Amino acid sequence: MLLTGTVGLLSDRLVKQHKYISYQQNVVQRLSGELRGERLLNKELQREIRLLEDSIALLEHQKADLARQLDRTRSQMRRLQQSLDLMQSKIAALEAEISELSRARDQYQARIEQMEIEKRQLLDSLAMLQRQRHETEQAEQAQAAQSEEKKEEAARLERIRQVVLRTAVQWDEVRLSKKAEGGALSQIRPGTDSWRFTKVRFSLGHPQPELLFGQTFVLQIVDADTGKPMPYLEVNPSFPDSPNNTTGIRFTFSNNPVELTFRNDMVKEGRNYELQLFLEDSGRQYRLVHGVRPLVRDGKVISH
């Protein structure tokens, strides 16, 4: 609107200037005719004519400037109109897109709700898989622990087997006596207590000596006729849990030789006895294959 008013104002001024110029030209022509007709040289009129001519030249220059300004203004208006048309085109495109999105809104909303349902289902499945993985990991750990326990148990049993089957016993000294430092007996009489002390010295050997160190062994004196072990010291029925009621001497192997003294003050009724060496592990006793030695046979002491 501002540009349109400016153009109109310039056009009106241009028309007025043109009319004024035409008028002045007519005046000049009339005066020139009168001057020529009268052949009078009036200096005042000549000065006015020059002023008028200068004014005409100035007005012509202003007219040209106004014409150029009008051209620039019209060019600017065309550019502004082009920008306006472009903006209106973009607005129309946006309105069309908004309308399209509005029509698709319900469809998108339904899809969003469906996706939310699928998301919740996936989260439930994920939680279930995580629980299953945790349970599987626990089962795997339990199985690994059981496997390790089985390995350890298998190794323990194999160690027991190796010790029982392959341990060699070298009996260096076997001495029976009535007193701790008394003379050695060559025979015993059943029904007497002449035999009370048994001193034994022996050595243990194995292809893998490390299997023996730290192991617990039990040395027993067994009645070969009845299979009953002789109590260490004597049995007292009044004290059934007394350590004196043990059936052998326990020792932990650390080095050779092993020296033990077995005491029993009870009357000996048997005629045949033997030494038996056991490996003790987890509360059970395993007799060594090479750990049996005759001690008394038909009442005679086997010292070698």
pTM score, two decimals? 0.54
Q: Contact 63/14 with Cβ under 8 angstroms? A: yes
Contacts for 264 with CB less than 8 Å, ≥ 6 apart:
196, 198, 221, 230, 231, 232, 233, 234
Report residues of the chain scoring pLDDT below 70: 1-4, 6-7, 31-42, 44-60, 84, 94, 234-245
**Residues 51-77 as b or e (16 or more Cβ within 10 Å = b):** eeeeeeeeeeeeeeeeeeeeeeeeeee
Burial class (CB in 10 A: 0-12, 13-18, 19+), 277: buried
Tell which residue, 155, 274, 255, 150, has the closest CA to residue 210.
255
Distance CA 217, CA 15 (A): 140
Paired tokens of 253: 């192997």
- Write the pLDDT tens digit of every residue in 165-209: 999 999 999 999 999 888 999 999 888 889 999 999 999 999 999
Paired tokens of 36: 């020529």
- Write the pLDDT tens digit of every residue in 33-43: 665 666 655 57
Amino acid at 295: L
- Write the pLDDT tens digit of every residue in 43-63: 754 665 565 565 566 666 777
Give residue 244's pLDDT.
Answer: 46
**Domain 167-301, CATH class in plain words:** mainly beta
Annotated domain spans of the chain: 2-97, 167-301
